[in-house]
Chains A and B, each alone.
Chain A
Amino acid sequence: MDLIWQGIREALRLVLTGDPEVWEITLLTLQVSGAALLVALLLGLPAAALLAFGRFPGQRLLASTVNAGMGLPPVVVGLLVTILLWRSGPLGFLEILYTPSAMILAQTIIALPIVTGLAMAALQALNPRLRLQLLALGASPVQSVALLLYEARGALLATVMAAGGRLLAEVGAVLMVGGNIRHLTRVLTTATVLETSMGKFETAIALGIILLALSFALNAGLTAVQQRGRRP
């Protein structure tokens, strides 16, 4: 138990004293996961609308591929992105392996099927006649997709929470493509792994607590938005 209390005390000290390295790691975590989530939403929401409402050959296959992709193991993504970005790989010329860009790329690949799959389900759960009604009210296809996404906002916030939580907690892929380089690609999860492996449990617990707090804050904030206006 002592170990845990020491960890909590150390965490509070690190947070309250504004330890520059902890702040740097926290900020990078938010930047990498936030950017990946944003890109995944920008690509995933239109894709979800297309899969939910469009009619084209191979749609079912694509939809089931997306659903299967929701459980994509991060280490497989890490391996794939590493090979892609390897100096002799197809995207090697970008020279972004072991940089935050590579981590964003890997996390986007992890988040994209989650965002697309859950948003697709959210859109399909809406009354199917609503789309016809919006068309009848004069909405253009883009306007009606925007309105339907807004109509499904509760479920879409859950999608953001699910994807955001997964990315914050993700360690395998960022470790493989980022390399956990101090001051460059070290994020909360990889730092926790490192501190733990070196037996520095206090720091590891402190980092873990910050991670938990971030994840909790994300979900609390979105839940508050989601439940706003709901009557008891």
Chain B
Amino acid sequence: MSPPLALLRDVQVRYGERTALAVEHLAVERGEILALLGPNGAGKSTLLRVLTLLEAPTAGEVIFEGTSITAAERASWRRRLCCCFQEPLLLDTTALANAALPLRLRGVPRYQAEARALRWLERLGVASVAARRAATLSGGEAQRVSLARALALDPALLGLDEPFAALDPESRESLQEDFLALQRERGMAVVLVTHDRAEALRLGDRVAVLLEGRVAQVGPPAEVFTRPVSKAVARLVGADTILEGTVLGAAEGLLILEVAGQRVEAVGTLRAGERALVVLRPEDVTLLPAAEMGRVSSARNNLPGRVVRLAPAGPLIRVHLDCGTPVTALVTRPSAAALGLAEGTAVIATFKASAAHCLPRLAPRP
């Protein structure tokens, strides 16, 4: 098997006494979008700078196509990579000259560089602003020019540090779509830094969760989002409900647990008697009127409880429940109205066993 395009091995970045990054192993495969998800200060941007050779790690190896990059090779390899940041960071000249800049820096004659840059401005839908000065562009236009500038280079690996974060929702979505189509077409490897889990889910072929400078979990988004390996990852990827329970046994490939006095079935590989955390995404929790308790399907988990608080979440409503343990559900406004949800309303929180994922609960420190 051919080696991955890029690989970090035992990489550490220390600033004085502080270790900002400690990554034992992280690979970037050809043609994939690897989303680096993590809270602020988790070391995402540092990781991106190390991976795109903008910063040398304090220790460890950065390996491209199986070759460990030495100090002497950094500059030449760096010229095969490119990075875009949250700000478009255009120079005070025309959009076209900006997009052509990286090619000009590599000695491509102006005419050729501008022709190629113009094609990329066209692909990103901003050819009409080619002659305008950067300062007169809107945020969305400027970010498109910035992406065209990077794509015109056809880099082996493109690093993106929250390039969509500062855009309004509409420009963000349309730029994400255009970018994804171009990336698929070019088959270019992309490392996308984001703190937005929706963006990681939407764009990432794989998601790497970074917590306190360490890679806590890497995998396809569906896996990371539904089967987080730790409570911290679960919180980050948005599985808001974390139930504590004890494994009673296993049946038909599912674990049977006792949670807050109720029987709960969930997915996992724990042994009977082990203490467990059951991770649930709020969109997987459905609410039913309390009166239906006798008629609910036993194929699902059913936890009776009361509404503690209702919080609007965009078009949806986040419902915080007390089912002997806190549970969060996301419901549409019409269904909240139909259920007559208010503080104190009795409801049943119901969810499929396959939506509930068990993690071992580490024993509390003595």
Question: Using Cβ atoms and an 8 Å threshold, which residues of chain A touch B101?
Answer: 137, 147
Q: Please name all residues of chain B whose beta carbon is closer than 8 Å to the beta carbon of A130 when the two chains form the complex.
A: 89, 91
Question: Which residue of B91, B106, B149, B150 contacts A147 across the interface (Cβ within 8 Å)?
Answer: B91
- Given A133-B85, A136-B52; A231-B136 close (CB under 8 Å): yes
A55 within 8 Å of B (CB atoms): no
| 0/1 interface trace, chain A 213-232, chain B, CB 8 Å (1 if under) | 00000000000000001010
**Choice from B78, B92, B150 contacting A135 with Cβ under 8 Å:** B78
Within 8 Å by CB of B54, from A127, A135, A229, lies A135
Select one of B52, B79, B89, B133 contacting A229, CB under 8 A: B133
Contact A138 B82 (CB under 8 A): yes
Which residues from chain A contact B84 at a C-beta distance below 8 Å?
136
- Whether A129 is near chain B, meaning CB under 8 Å from some CB there, is yes
Question: What chain B residues lie within 8 Å of A151 (beta carbons)?
Answer: 91-92
Whether A137 and B149, one on each chain, are in contact in the complex, defined by CB atoms closer than 8 angstroms, is yes
Residue among A127, A132, A138 making CB contact with B106, cutoff 8 Å: A138
Inter-chain contact A138/B85, CB cutoff 8 Å: no
Give chain A residues whose Cβ lies under 8 Å from the Cβ of B106.
138
A186 to B291, CA, bound (A): 106
B83→A138 contact, CB < 8 A? no
A193 CB within 8 Å of chain B: no
Taken residue by residue from 134 to 147, chain A's Cβ proximity to chain B (1 for < 8 Å, 0 otherwise) reads as 01111110010001
How many inter-chain residue pairs (CB < 8 Å) link A and B?
51
* One of B49, B102, B136 near A138 (C-beta < 8 A): B102
In the bound assembly, the distance between CA atoms of A130 and B92 in angstroms comes to 11
CB distance from B77 to the nearest CB of A (A): 11
> What is the bound-complex CA distance between A114 and B197, given in angstroms?
51
CA distance A77 to B133 in the complex (A): 44
**A190-232 vs B, Cβ < 8 Å mask (1 yes, 0 no):** 0000000000000000000000000000000000000001010
List A86-143 residues whose CB lies under 8 Å from chain B: 127, 129-130, 132-133, 135-140, 143
A138 & B54 in contact (Cβ 8 Å cutoff): no
- Docked complex Cα distance between A133 and B149 (Å): 11
CB–CB B133/A137 < 8 A: no
Q: Which residues of A contact B52 (CB under 8 A)?
A: 136
Q: Tell me if B153 is interfacial: C-beta within 8 Å of chain A.
A: yes
Main SS of the interface on chain A?
Answer: helix
- Given the interface contacts A132-B54, A143-B105, A229-B133, does A138 sit within 8 Å of B89 by beta carbon? no
Docked-complex contact B85 and A139, CB < 8 angstroms: no
Distance from A204 Cβ to chain B, minimum over Cβ atoms (Å): 44
- If the complex has contacts A127-B89, A229-B133, are A133 and B83 also in contact, measured as CB distance less than 8 A? yes
Q: Is the CB of B87 closer than 8 A to any CB of chain A?
A: yes
Whether B54 lies near A137 (C-beta < 8 A) is no
Contact (Cβ within 8 A) B82 A137: yes
A225 to B351, CA, bound (A): 69
B159 at the interface (CB under 8 A from A): yes
DSSP majority for the B interface?
mixed
Contact of A137 among B49, B87, B92, B102 (CB under 8 A): B102
Is the beta-carbon distance between B91 and A138 smaller than 8 angstroms? no
Separation of A140 and B79 alpha carbons in the complex (Å): 9
The answer to whether A138 touches B133 (Cβ under 8 A) is no
- Enumerate chain B residues within 8 angstroms of A143, measured Cβ to Cβ: 105
With both beta carbons as reference points, the residue of chain B lying nearest to A148 in the complex is identified as B91
Contact of B105 among A138, A150, A231 (CB under 8 A): A138
Near A by CB (< 8 A), chain B positions 52-94 give: 52, 54, 75, 78-79, 81-85, 87, 89, 91-92
CB B117 to nearest CB in A, in angstroms, measures: 12
Contact A137 B136 (CB under 8 A): no
Residues of B within 8 A of A135 (CB): 54, 78
Q: Which of A127, A139, A150, A151 has the most CB of B within 10 A?
A: A139
Output the least CB separation between B69 and chain A (Å). Answer: 15
Alpha-carbon gap, A135 to B150, bound state (A): 12
Given contacts A135-B54, A138-B153, A140-B75, contact A129 B89 (CB under 8 A): yes
Q: How far is the CA of A90 from the CA of B102 in the complex (A)?
A: 49
Q: Which of A132, A137, A150 lies at the interface centre, i.e. has the most chain B CB atoms within 10 A of its CB?
A: A137
Q: Which residue of A lies closest to B89 (CB)?
A: A133
**A135→B53 CA distance, assembly (Å):** 10
- Chain B residue, CB-CB nearest to A133: B89
B105 adjacent to A137 (CB under 8 Å): yes
Residues of A within 8 A of B75 (CB): 140
Contact A136 B54, beta carbon cutoff 8 Å: yes
Q: How far is the CA of A130 from the CA of B54 in the complex (A)?
A: 13
| Chain B hits for A132, CB < 8 A | 49, 54, 83, 85
Report B17 CB to chain A, min CB distance, Å: 19
Min distance, Cβ B165 to any Cβ of chain A, angstroms:
14
Mask, B102-137, CB within 8 Å of A = 1, is 100110000000000000000000000000010010
Which A residue's beta carbon lies closest to that of B87? A129
Q: Which 8 A-B pairs have the closest CB atoms?
A: A136-B83, A133-B89, A138-B79, A137-B102, A138-B105, A139-B105, A138-B102, A130-B89
For this complex, 24 residue pairs linking A to B, each with C-beta atoms less than 8 Å apart, are A127-B89, A129-B85, A129-B87, A129-B89, A130-B89, A132-B54, A132-B85, A133-B85, A133-B89, A135-B54, A136-B78, A136-B81, A136-B83, A136-B84, A136-B85, A136-B159, A137-B105, A137-B153, A138-B102, A138-B153, A139-B105, A140-B75, A151-B92, A231-B136
